């Protein structure tokens, strides 16, 4: 099963996004990341700009287990999940499960009305519909970043 995660940060976002990616790799292995972009805060009152992205993991774990893992990553990076208003505050990490599917497809996500998701897919449109309609391009599309001296840890479509 493919699970699509929305990832964001507006506290030291450049370094915290890398930390989120490393944690996801540690917990799930290879992940696919759409190009991170700078976005304006959405549904919170903040002057801090966000970096947002979508990560895709392939796993057989239950969504409840995935949510526990993503919550623990948020807490590890400094988010206070005991604060009932944390969803309205600046955050080191924000990881939400968007959806799951049997095949890799972004078709339903690209219909989202959420501003930062729309911006991610508008950026993707600059590179054609190959990724959105057929999955990852086989040549010239993804880039592998070797974080831990292994290949295929992170794929960024850029």
Q: pLDDT tens string for the chain (158 positions)?
A: 999 999 999 999 999 999 999 999 999 988 888 888 899 888 888 999 999 999 999 999 999 999 999 999 999 999 988 888 888 889 999 999 999 999 988 888 988 888 888 888 887 766 545 444 545 444 444 444 444 444 444 445 44
Q: What is the pLDDT of residue 139?
A: 42
Domain boundaries, the chain: 2-157
In DSSP terms, 52 is beta-bridged to 8, 37
What six digits make up the tokens of 38? 């700078």
pLDDT number for residue 135: 52
Q: Give residue 126's pLDDT.
A: 64
pTM of the entire predicted model: 0.79
Task: Please identify, in words, the CATH class of the domain defined by 2-157.
Answer: alpha beta
């Amino acid at each position: 099963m493919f699970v699509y995660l929305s990832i964001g940060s507006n506290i030291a976002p450049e370094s915290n996004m890398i930390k989120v990616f490393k944690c996801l790799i540690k917990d799930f292995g290879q992940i696919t990341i759409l190009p991170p972009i700078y976005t304006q805060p959405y549904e919170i009152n903040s002057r801090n700009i966000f970096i947002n992205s979508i990560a895709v993991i392939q796993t057989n774990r239950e969504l409840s287990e995935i949510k526990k893992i993503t919550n623990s990553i948020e807490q590890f990076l400094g988010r206070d999940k005991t604060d009932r208003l944390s969803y309205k505050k600046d955050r080191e990490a924000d990881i939400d499960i968007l959806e799951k599917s049997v095949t890799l497809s972004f078709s339903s996500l690209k219909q989202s009305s959420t501003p930062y998701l729309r911006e991610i897919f508008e950026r993707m449109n600059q590179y054609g519909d190959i990724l959105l309609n057929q999955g990852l391009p086989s040549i010239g599309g993804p880039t592998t970043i070797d974080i831990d001296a292994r290949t295929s840890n992170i794929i960024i479509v850029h």
